[in-house]
Structure 1
Amino acid sequence: MTVAPFGVGQHPDLSEFFIHLTGRPLGDTPPPAAHVGSTAEGRLASILASRRLKASSVYGSPPVVCLCDVTRKAANVLLANGVTNRGPYDPWGLLLSRQGCIDRGLRPVLYLSAAEERQILNRAHTSDLMEWRIVRYDPPWTDWTHEREWRFGFPQGSNDPGVDISDLIHGVIVGQPGWAPGPSGPTPDDPHQPRLGRDVKRYAWNGTQIVDDGNLTL
């Protein structure tokens, strides 16, 4: 493996992979309409079946796909206790190639105050370029820096925006050892969606930490 001259591979707080968890703690906040009645496990199975992450609006943003830049140690904290009063995240998700995602257009969000956001969006020709990257930062009342969020962004009004992750999947995080999707799982009987024919790493949550759990064939 080639190690970058700085950053990833050198800094102990930077991972080689981005994580997309399919179940986040909501507290008293109602789930998005698309998630009503679904489960984190079901959403993971659906993503593996389509091999695609669908974009959606977050608090009025343009359509985005959100990933977290966290190490395995940090992910253990997210799944065990969470990092806010909303509780832990559900132990279901994907690990995606860091460099592959960056090459595809993934970028870190910009944590900005309301005043800074207005300054940027009021400038001509910058709104479409920057709006999808902005996350409100007005601590202590509004602070999402714990998510260490990166995003794929799409223009408002895009038709079915999303990201093909067929070649980006490094592994899956699952809530039970040996998990595999059902018949409608990652390789449905569809001539337009053939098997990928490769294994990815499977990591299981044992209630305390993420542990290696063999491979999952896609």
Structure 2
Amino acid sequence: MTLGQVGPAQSEYLYHFTGRNGDRPVWVPEDIRDASPPERLDVILREERFRAFAPFGAEAAGAGASGVPCLCFSECPFEHLDHLIRTGRFEPWGVVTTREKVHRRGGGAVAYVPTDVHEAFVKAKLGHWAVRTEKDSSWLHEREWRLPLPAGSHAVGSVQAIIVANAEWRPSRVGTGRWIDGVTGLEEPGPVSPHAIECDDYPRLWRESAVWVWNAEAKNVTRYEPGELC
């Protein structure tokens, strides 16, 4: 599947940031709201799963979490990624995918519309496909995409890249299913002896994906090939 030409102001890249400055929806679980951006990214890499929630403004006022759950992404060329981060709305932590992957699963770009048109989207139960463009809703620079999904968690097969704010940061290590004898160092078929130790490693997504590191001083991004920061 192809979405056709991509102009210089567009990008094949879509960014799911794990930190966004502003209010947190009260219908998102407290442990997620209270977690830091790197902590949220760590969970995604460790569990290889996204969790979808209803976005702001998708339902009439007071409807709470009754809107359609979505995964949300921002589109911009790699050369403009520093602009998205420098605006102060997003923290440089998250994962990168592509428009084609999101579109193939039923996602797409949202409409940026005036309040009265946005209300029509909401009344038609399509509020998750629109964002208001008013003084108190200034998000045009983000060029948002949304992927509607059932409530709950959803598997992450692969990602284009992982964004971090520190080249020294590493995700939590996870079990590999391989076991060794802690005394002899010999491999075991499982925890069959009292000295058995499960080997651990960085999560698969970290090992297999490119890593893009934000340099706050230089205000740019350095790209590392898969495995370079393992």
Q: In which range does the TM-score fall when normalised by the shorter chain?
A: 0.7 to 0.9
Aligned to 2:21, which of 14, 18, 25?
A: 25
Q: Which residue of 1 aligns with 2:182?
A: none
State the secondary structure of the residue aligned to 2:160.
strand
Query: In 2, Cα distance between the equivalents of 1:201 and 1:195?
Result: 12
State the secondary structure of the residue aligned to 1:181.
coil
Provide closer, same or farther for how the CA distance between residues 203 and 148 of structure 1 changes in structure 2, counting only shifts above 3 A: same
Q: Which residue of 1 aligns with 2:138?
A: 143
Q: Which structure features the higher share of strand residues? A: 2
Query: In 2, Cα distance between the equivalents of 1:197 and 1:149?
Result: 25
TM, length-normalised to structure 1: 0.74
Provide closer, same or farther for how the CA distance between residues 46 and 211 of structure 1 changes in structure 2, counting only shifts above 3 A: same
CA-to-aligned-CA distance 1:40-99 (integer Å, 9 cap, x gap): 1111111112222211122253211100011122210122x21xxxx3521111111321
Does the 8 Å CA contact 1:175/1:206 hold for their aligned counterparts? yes
Aligned to 1:66, which of 65, 68, 72?
A: 72
Q: Which residue of 1 aligns with 2:95?
A: 94
Does the 8 Å CA contact 1:180/1:216 hold for their aligned counterparts? no
Aligned to 2:81, which of 75, 96, 104?
A: 75
Q: Which residue of 2 aligns with 1:42?
A: 39
1:134 CA drift (Å):
1.9
Structure 2: segments with no counterpart, 5+ residues: 59-66, 179-202
Q: What is the CA RMSD across the aligned residues, in angstroms?
A: 3.0
1:198 CA drift (Å):
6.2
TM, length-normalised to structure 2: 0.71
* 2:131 maps to 1:131: no
Rg comparison, structure with higher value: 2
The one-letter code of the counterpart of 2:5 is G
The one-letter code of the counterpart of 1:132 is H
Provide closer, same or farther for how the CA distance between residues 59 and 210 of structure 1 changes in structure 2, counting only shifts above 3 A: same
CA-to-aligned-CA distance 1:102-160 (integer Å, 9 cap, x gap): 111111112222322333444xxx42xx23212122x3343321111000114xxx542
Query: In 1, Cα distance between the equivalents of 2:4 and 2:48?
Result: 31
Structure-to-structure mapping, 1:4-15, within 5 angstroms: 6-8=4-6, 11-15=7-11
Provide closer, same or farther for how the CA distance between residues 148 and 14 of structure 1 changes in structure 2, counting only shifts above 3 A: same
Aligned to 2:155, which of 151, 161, 164?
A: 164
Aligned to 1:173, which of 154, 163, 185?
A: 163
CA-to-aligned-CA distance 1:178-216 (integer Å, 9 cap, x gap): 5321225xxx5579xx95796211111111111113324
Query: In 2, Cα distance between the equivalents of 1:190 and 1:59?
Result: 40
Across the two proteins, how many residue pairs are aligned to each other?
191
The one-letter code of the counterpart of 1:21 is F
The one-letter code of the counterpart of 1:39 is S
Query: 1 or 2 for the larger relative contact order (CA 8 Å, sep ≥6)?
Result: 1
State the secondary structure of the residue aligned to 2:34.
coil
Q: Which residue of 1 aligns with 2:192?
A: none
Structure 1: segments with no counterpart, 5+ residues: none
1:30 CA drift (Å):
5.2
State the secondary structure of the residue aligned to 1:14.
coil
Provide closer, same or farther for how the CA distance between residues 196 and 37 of structure 1 changes in structure 2, counting only shifts above 3 A: closer
